[in-house]
Chain A
Amino acid sequence: EAQVTQNPRYLITVTGKKLTVTCSQNMNHEYMSWYRQDPGLGLRQIYYSMNVEVTDKGDVPEGYKVSRKEKRNFPLILESPSPNQTSLYFCASSLHNEQFFGPGTRLTVL
């Protein structure tokens, strides 16, 4: 089944404790992206990647890192999480415009 998977789905952590949210797709898509969704703000793009080893900042990249060592994986790294990064995070991949979204990761930073 073609899908985008994210792990973990839920995470509660404390300020400053490094964490990684994994994202994997099995559709051989070149493009992958990370978004955060906050009430009243819709989805805001954090980082995107056009292909392996190519990443670019989206609208809200501060406090986040990504890597794209393989086509299928696009992990989101929070080196030192802060409470303002509490949000619902979505990974997405696409081949031609239409994006396929993962199920989301709900992150709470205390």
Chain B
Amino acid sequence: SQQGEEDPQALSIQEGENATMNCSYKTSINNLQWYRQNSGRGLVHLILIRSNEREKHSGRLRVTLDTSKKSSSLLITASRAADTASYFCATDERNNDMRFGAGTRLTVKP
């Protein structure tokens, strides 16, 4: 069964704008990760945030985690056309038992 659920399912923005994607999950987690997938390709790890962390940055990415609301958000600032991809959150309930959401399809228009 899916654990994470991303929102929105699809997002279309102009280059330079910020993109925010949300993820909700159902049970307690050890950590939450965000992955990116270009069409039909394997997923690429972006960032991991542990259950005792509230915010994490990596370049133009900012991830927040609210364990009380069982939710996370991924913010991509100053988006570029190359950011066009699907983004997935994944939760780790037990050691390495990963559950992925259905993803948010981001389109960045040049």
User: Which chain A residues have a beta carbon within 8 Å of chain B's beta carbons?
Assistant: 4, 31, 33, 35, 40-45, 48, 50, 58-59, 88, 90, 92, 94, 97-104, 106
The residues of B that contact A31 with a CB separation of less than 8 Å are 96
Task: Confirm or deny: B42 has a beta carbon within 8 angstroms of a beta carbon on chain A.
Answer: yes
The residues of A that contact B97 with a CB separation of less than 8 Å are 45, 48, 58
Q: How far is the CB of A95 from chain B (nearest CB, A)?
A: 10
User: Which chain B residues have a beta carbon within 8 Å of chain A's beta carbons?
Assistant: 1-2, 31, 33, 35, 40-45, 48, 88, 90, 92, 95-103
Q: How far is the CB of A48 from chain B (nearest CB, A)?
A: 7
Give the secondary structure class of A's interface.
Answer: strand
Q: How far is the CA of A82 from the CA of B25 in the complex (A)?
A: 32
Let me know if B2 and A41 touch, CB within 8 A.
Answer: yes
